[in-house]
Amino acid sequence: MAERSGYTPGTFCWSELTASDQDAAKAFYGALFGWEADDRPVGDAGSYYSMQLIDGKPVAAIAAQPQQQRDAGVPSLWNSYVSVDSADAVADRAKELGATLHAPPFDVMSVGRMAVIQDPQGAFFMPWEPRDHFGAALVNQPGALVWNELQSPELDASAAFYGDLFGWQLEEQSTGALGRYLMIKNGDSYNGGMRELTPPSPPNWLMYFGVEDVEQGLAKVSELGGSTIAGPIDIEIAKIAVVADPQGAVFALYAGQLDD
């Protein structure tokens, strides 16, 4: 078990699903990962933000999809949050570096401050300035976030953008059959990876969640109405697979070596 009480700036800290059917999503992920829902009222009557818990500790969230995304036909999707000292400073710098600011920095009640940014190559991410909520209290274990991976059509440009924005160091890992892979290092810790985009997927940040066994995880996804996109794939230190939930949100499963 890897417990967290805070995150170094530049570290992925939170995962949030925006779902077209919030209750159905809670049922799917609860059955798949054993998450327990803690629904917290927000905004209009009947609206809520559902914190997903393991052993009473938050690991992710499931929210209702914004109406604008519904109207545009956008499928349910997972959002990646990066811990920062200042959401305003990161948003300003991202814009200078060519990113698109889809939502300028705003306060989320007393829990934090954030923005919605699309990088110059097209992938979305959210800087998170923590206040009452720092992010996931558990990571790197079954049912919790273990890795974040960018798929980019311009790998070197993405490396330059995020390196400037967050101070990440990018280390070339391989140039094999699966293409180039860059490991993200934030300070002394590895923080994720970047790979070349595999069409027809749009540029995106893919979230990996831990499971005990990938084959069993794939069978459970199928039983619950989800689908397999790729895998299982043996990467030596682990087996992985890319899947989609019944509403189309894409994520990955990881069974193998985990850091504390």
Q: CATH number of the domain that 187 lies in?
A: 3.10.180.10
For Cα atoms 158, 163, 166, give the angle at the middle one, nearest 5 degrees.
115
Same structural domain, 110 and 158: no
Q: In residues, how long is the chain?
A: 260
Summarize pLDDT for 214-257 with one digit per residue, the tens. Answer: 999 999 999 999 999 998 998 888 899 999 999 999 999 999 88
Mean of per-residue pLDDT scores for the chain: 92
CA-nearest of 59, 54, 9 to 191 is 9
Which of the four pLDDT bands, split at 50, 70 and 90, describes residue 74? confident
Same domain, 170 and 227: yes
Domain total for the chain?
2
Residue range 45-74: mean pLDDT, rounded: 87
Nearest-angstrom CA–CA distance, 132 and 250: 29
Same domain for 118 and 18: yes
Confidence of residue 67 (pLDDT cuts 50, 70, 90): confident
Give the neighbor-by-neighbor strand order of the sheet with 77-83.
36-41, 48-54, 57-64, 12-19, 77-83, 124-130, 112-118, 100-108
Spatial CA neighbour of 240 closest among 213, 220, 201, 200 = 213
Residues 188 and 229 in one domain: yes
Regarding whether 123 and 17 lie in a shared domain, the answer is yes
Same domain membership, residue 119 and residue 54: yes
- Could you tell me the residue range of the domain that residue 37 belongs to? 2-130
Using the 3D structure, point to which of 95, 130, 165 is the last residue of a domain: 130
* Final residue before a domain boundary, out of 112, 130, 148: 130
Q: What is the pLDDT of residue 175?
A: 57
The burial of 197, by beta-carbon neighbours within 10 Å (0-12 exposed, 13-18 middle, 19 or more buried), is given as buried
Q: What is the pLDDT of residue 177?
A: 58
- As given in the structure block, the two tokens for residue 30 are 């609860």
> Which of 69, 100, 130 lies at the terminal end of a domain, its last residue?
130
Mean pLDDT across 28-40: 96
Same-domain pairing of 35 and 97: yes
Q: By three-state DSSP, how is residue 154 classified?
A: coil
Q: Are residues 42 and 123 in the same domain?
A: yes
> What is the Cα–Cα distance from 194 to 12, expressed in whole angstroms?
14
| 29-36, long-range: CB < 8 A, 24+ apart | 29/60, 29/62, 29/245, 31/220, 31/224, 32/217, 32/220, 32/221, 32/224, 32/226, 33/142, 33/143, 33/209, 33/211, 34/143, 35/59, 35/60, 35/143
